[in-house]
A and B are shown apart, each in its own frame.
Chain A
Amino acid sequence: MNWPCCRRSPGAEVSRLVRGPIDIAELTQAVSDSHLGGTTLFVGSVRRGPDDGPVIAIEYSAYDEMAEAEFDRILAEATLRWPAARVKVRHRLGRIPVGEASIAVIAASPHRADAFAACRYVIEEMKQRVPIWKKEILQDGAERWRADHTAGYGS
């Protein structure tokens, strides 16, 4: 018998999924330490590009339990590759207005190379693997699902 509810590892931290504005200061504080000389912060925010039309917000939804488990796996992989780095991530769910942050990834390490690498790894991997979806909310109240056009690193 499988027990999906118990799949998070014993050392798993608090939920990476939040339903209000992401607290960047809290994240910065969480990875801060005197021996960690380099910190890289990535913030992704809701974008309205010139071809996106009258989008006023994006509604994010998730397969919560699997999203947490997949974040656990990705952060464990980052720890294996960059053992000295301290990495945190927060993803906001629910309705997010254009311009506000949907995700923050922060990585602190003794030296900057690992901080950049670990931060980039987490954002790129999560975009490929974590079960989160987005629905555009338009000015007139209409809604449409938005596909991601990420075909690989660097979109």
Chain B
Amino acid sequence: MYLHDRLSKANGSMISVRCRLFAQYAEIVGRDELTVKLPPEATVGDAVCKLREQAPHGELLPERPLVALNQVHALPDQPLQDGDELALLPPVAGG
């Protein structure tokens, strides 16, 4: 773990997660990006919760959406780090 991370945890300072929204979700919220601040031990699920509270019309987003963490499909119990990119993905429909 980098020294910066150890100091952050020791100070109890918040971590910043860049949340990205796409397709229907971006339309619901009226934005395609928000930053949420969370405690250092936060998980993907915590970030989704915070986003739903913070974003305009966030309550219309699903409680357990498909998510990607740093561009890889992820699960709610995965831990977050400062500077992570979390994306909420509507059911994919490519091809």
Contacts and interface: CB of A to CB of B under 8 A. Distances in A.
The SS class assigned to the B binding surface is loop
Nearest to B82: A1
Interface stretch (B20-28, B35-43, B49-57): B20-28
A131 interface: yes
Interface in A4-35: 4, 7
A81 interface: no
A148 interface: yes
Interface centre among B70, B73, B94 (most CB of A within 10 A): B94
Interface string A78-94: 00000000000001000
Contacts of A67: 94
Contacts, number: 81
The SS class assigned to the A binding surface is mixed
Contact of B70 (A7, A70, A134): A7
Nearest to A68: B71
Given A62-B94, A131-B87, A133-B94, A4 B22 contact: no
A25 B91 CA distance: 32
Contacts of B71: 4, 7, 63, 65-66, 69-70
A145 B24 contact: yes
Nearest to A89: B95
Given A2-B85, A145-B23, 17 more contacts: A1-B82, A2-B83, A4-B85, A7-B71, A65-B71, A66-B87, A69-B71, A70-B71, A91-B94, A103-B95, A127-B95, A128-B92, A131-B22, A131-B89, A131-B92, A133-B93, A147-B93
List the 10 closest A-B pairs by CB distance, nearest first.
A132-B94, A133-B23, A66-B71, A148-B93, A127-B95, A130-B94, A2-B70, A134-B93, A69-B71, A4-B70
24 contacts: A1-B2, A2-B70, A2-B85, A4-B71, A4-B85, A7-B71, A61-B22, A61-B23, A66-B71, A66-B72, A69-B71, A70-B71, A91-B94, A103-B94, A127-B94, A129-B73, A130-B94, A131-B22, A132-B93, A133-B23, A133-B93, A145-B24, A145-B90, A147-B91
Interface of A: 1-2, 4, 7, 44, 60-63, 65-67, 69-70, 91, 102-103, 123, 126-135, 145-148
Interface of B: 2, 20, 22-24, 68, 70-73, 81-85, 87, 89-95
